Structure 1
Amino acid sequence: MSPSLAGVAIGRFFSGFLSGIPAVVVAGSIEDMYNAKDRVWLIFMWAVVANMGLALGPIMSIYIIACLSWYEHSRCLLVIETNCLRRWVFRISAVVTAIITLLLFGIRESRPSLVLEREVAKIRRESGIADLKALNPDHTPDLTTFVRIGLFRPIHLFFTEPIVFLVATMSAVAFALIYLFTEALPPIYMSMGFSTTSSYLPFFAICIGLLFGLLTRIQDHRIILRYQEQGIPLEPEHKLLGFSIGAPILAVGLWWFSWTIPPAVHVHWLVSTAALILIGYAVNEFDSVLAGYLADSYLGYAASGFAAVQLLRSSMSAAFPLFATDMYDALGANVASSILATLATVFCILPPLFSRYGRRIRGLSKFAKHSLQVYQENGVDKHGF
């Protein structure tokens, strides 16, 4: 509702700043409450819901505008009608966010060290033993230490930990790809004869692809059970199947899409839409598997790792739509999409590197080693399952 561009910029800044928090907190809470076996499913469900909302957002927005046009038409001048209609997208989002905010008041603290500290404080008050203290590796003695840990540790992890750097980069590119498609897909499908409203419907193909990740999670579960039956400690690298499959599928899906769309190729729209199913599957595998790998590798430091991931992911998600239209107009949809496919092809070399050298890299990390020790002493599970 702001009448000035400056007001819009301030509002968008705070919405962007605050929307980055749930991704960090939710992933950290999953690591707190669930063991390595159950985290596979919880992080998958979290990733599916998040990515589903991201893919459905453009469809919902354009249909909100279309369906409410009858209401605003009588209130807005023709030249500003579109802006008036777009306001309803934000109004509805504000209502939904307000409802979620109320529900969040029912959430309780889940971090084991903090829960233990609160219980010890209760016992200390009841028993009168003043020197009774809990083992809390998260304790911060002052505000300076808190700021240093909260603000600078994620940046430190990003630039010094190869796993965090690679996971953040790949997750950010895959996640931002859908944001880029919000600008790129509608013009492509409008050139195939779609109306402005229906040109957003191919995002449903991405949603379908997200659900196919369920098959990979079933196989992950079988692998975990096999290791459990054999008494083999579960390593983070044992759960990289989805990433190993998703990386080449993302490359194939993008190459397929690149050369089944106008202007270079004219085929039925279903052909390119089928490629979006593969892309949707791969994007979710990147998101859920790499998030799980980060949680399993850094455990108590997972939230700091996710903060680094979220920082890069949010930055790329904001940047990709800014150049998407210019890139596709200047290079053509085929060449522009091929650049994305080339980047995805490069990612294909990383799954075998993680599988082969991931344990060695974690062994050289003081954060990974310390978090494993703390987890074994305070975590929900002492046997890796």
Structure 2
Amino acid sequence: MGPQSPDNPKTWSKGYRWYITTLAAVLLLNATFASSAPSGVIPDLIEYFSFSRAVGTLTIAIFVAGYCVGPLAWGPLSESYGRKPVFVFTFIVYTGFQIGCALSRNTASILIFRFLGGVFAASPLANSGAVIADIWDPAVRGEAMAIFTLAPFAGPTFGPIVSGFMANAGVSWRWVFWVLAMFTGTCLALVIFTLPETYVPILLVKRAQRLRKETGDNRYWAPLEREDKSIGERIKHVFARPFVVLVHEPMLIAITLYMSFMYGCLYLLFEAYPIVFTQGHNLNQGMSGLMFLPIFIGGITGVIIYLFFFNPRYERAIAAFAPYPVPPEYRMEVCMLAAPIFAGSFFWFGWTSYPSISLWAPMLSGIPLGVGVIFLFLGLFNYTIDAYLFVAASALSAITVVRSLFGAGFPLFATQMYVALNPRWASTLLGCIATLLGPIPFILRYYGHHLRRRSKYAPTGDLPIKPPSEEMKEKERAARAV
């Protein structure tokens, strides 16, 4: 499909593409909001179902565990059948499971519905970013991705706020899930009526089918129509490739470990914050949920700084390296700043968590935490795409699965850790681990090009690591012209 073709998503009007970007972000916001929404009504769930606090926490963790399964299927399926059909199918089923949670009468049903809801809610995790890549050129994609990145972190911070105030108002816990069902149903309607197909290979299939019908000439066909893979090959491609790439790539292992720890810490706070603010400062469920708001404010601050400072620097690097691509290591600049900010926020939170200290002190630690998380996510996410190119989807799928395991697992031991060690030392432990992981961006920045040269899956090892001279640029342009 030509760059000027009206069927090419990158030629659609900028306003329309920004609408699609916003809708993709809302779909992801919906999924992440649903993951943490029950946190404010866990005491009500414990009273109704008569289960333990650990099982109450499991209603959050098991939803996130569904993220470990969903991306392995929804991403590859979207590359075979298109983005829109996968969104429509998954959101229909996802809405049904939200209704199932609202009508649950026993522990088994709500846990099963939560897990299956997480599996189908993972569709935007796998495909919303792909939609943005479908419609934007690299020059603008950084801006779209910076705004889009807020969604996976805004959702978990809003969940406790909404459900906390609902619990404080005396609303039944079932209404939390009815609200989620209505939110999901609205998203489904928007997908059905306003989201176009954006995946170019599928658009080529539709064009070929249209031409065959209009002309009666069967010579028109799209490459995707000629693919002939057995069921076994498809299963291997869907489920095995991400992990094959992961175990062979030290760079990807390091990135996955860092992003997974960061993601796990975010979900761990759903257990840590009630200990500090609800128990320590005697806040009700609604006010305790508001303590998550600074994390979102920090995320917005991080996006603004990225758009007005780091993204222009990267655009200048694009001009300096042209016609070569910018080495992936330049993505690490923002992470080198974020690493100490992310680690320091836990020391700040921990050592201001005494009940005798104003709650504003630990609450405001969420601002640098949000800034650090956004910076790290943007830098590491973009580094993975730039370094792995044609296997980037598999690399990102591996990261998504592993980080979801951390997100599901960390809340399960958070309460015990914060009770046994107290909030000061528990947060210090997290800060120390973050400090140990902090050198990863620095290592990738200065030694990543050596690792890429030895990599089996990163086809970018021969890129210049410094801006080329004008003579080199002219030779490259002449070679491409020939």
The corresponding residue for 1:251 is: 343
> Residue 277 of structure 1: CA displacement?
0.8
Question: Is the Cα–Cα contact under 8 Å of residues 254 and 341 in structure 1 kept in the other structure?
Answer: yes
Taking every aligned residue pair, what percent have the same amino acid on both sides? 26
Q: Give 1:147's match in structure 2, choosing from 235, 240, 261.
A: 235
The corresponding residue for 2:151 is: 49
The corresponding residue for 2:264 is: 176
> Residue 139 of structure 1: CA displacement?
4.2
1:264-293 per-position Cα deviation (integer Å, ceiling 9, x unaligned): xx4222222222211111112222222222
Question: Is the Cα–Cα contact under 8 Å of residues 246 and 253 in structure 2 kept in the other structure?
Answer: yes
Residue 280 in 1 paired to residue 363 in 2? Answer: no
1:290-343 per-position Cα deviation (integer Å, ceiling 9, x unaligned): 222222223343332222122112222121111111111111111111111011
The corresponding residue for 2:189 is: 102
Give the Cα–Cα distance (whole angstroms) in 2 for the partners of residues 234 and 196 of structure 1: 48
The corresponding residue for 2:281 is: 192
- Number of matched pairs: 356
Alignment of 1:3-152 (within 5 A): 3-67=105-169, 69=170, 85-105=172-192, 106-123=194-211, 126=214, 130=218, 133-135=221-223, 139=227, 141-152=229-240
> Residue 122 of structure 1: CA displacement?
4.0
Amino acid at match of 2:273: L
- In 2 relative to 1, CA 101–17 (structure 1 residues): closer, same or farther, beyond 3 Å? same
- In 2 relative to 1, CA 129–196 (structure 1 residues): closer, same or farther, beyond 3 Å? closer
Q: SS at 1:367's partner residue?
A: coil
Question: Is the Cα–Cα contact under 8 Å of residues 192 and 269 in structure 1 kept in the other structure?
Answer: yes
Give the Cα–Cα distance (whole angstroms) in 2 for the partners of residues 11 and 138 of structure 1: 39
Amino acid at match of 2:421: L
Q: SS at 1:332's partner residue?
A: helix
Amino acid at match of 2:180: S
Residue 205 in 1 paired to residue 294 in 2? Answer: yes
Q: SS at 1:240's partner residue?
A: helix
| Structure 1 unpaired stretches of 5+ | 73-84, 373-382
Question: Is the Cα–Cα contact under 8 Å of residues 132 and 144 in structure 2 kept in the other structure?
Answer: yes
- TM-score of the two chains, using structure 2 as the length reference: 0.68
- TM-score of the two chains, using structure 1 as the length reference: 0.84
Q: SS at 1:197's partner residue?
A: helix
> Residue 127 of structure 1: CA displacement?
5.3
Structure ranking higher on relative contact order (CA contacts 8 Å, 6+ apart): 1
1:219-276 per-position Cα deviation (integer Å, ceiling 9, x unaligned): 222212322333433222222222111111001111121211127xx42222222222
Give the Cα–Cα distance (whole angstroms) in 1 for the partners of residues 455 and 203 of structure 2: 27
Question: Is the Cα–Cα contact under 8 Å of residues 25 and 303 in structure 1 kept in the other structure?
Answer: no
| Structure 2 unpaired stretches of 5+ | 1-102, 463-479
Question: Is the Cα–Cα contact under 8 Å of residues 33 and 110 in structure 1 kept in the other structure?
Answer: yes
> Residue 15 of structure 1: CA displacement?
1.1
1:147-188 per-position Cα deviation (integer Å, ceiling 9, x unaligned): 111111122222222333222222222122221111111221
The corresponding residue for 1:377 is: none
The corresponding residue for 2:318 is: 228
1:113-146 per-position Cα deviation (integer Å, ceiling 9, x unaligned): 3433443454455555545554559945232222
- In 2 relative to 1, CA 100–295 (structure 1 residues): closer, same or farther, beyond 3 Å? same
The corresponding residue for 1:355 is: 445
Question: Is the Cα–Cα contact under 8 Å of residues 343 and 434 in structure 2 kept in the other structure?
Answer: yes
Q: CA RMSD in A?
A: 2.7
Q: Give 2:248's match in structure 1, choosing from 154, 160, 171.
A: 160
Amino acid at match of 2:187: I
- In 2 relative to 1, CA 365–120 (structure 1 residues): closer, same or farther, beyond 3 Å? farther
Amino acid at match of 2:294: A
Alignment of 1:338-377 (within 5 A): 338-369=428-459
Comparing 40-49 with 190-199, greater Cα deviation is found at: 190-199
1:89-123 per-position Cα deviation (integer Å, ceiling 9, x unaligned): 11100110111112122333333334334434544
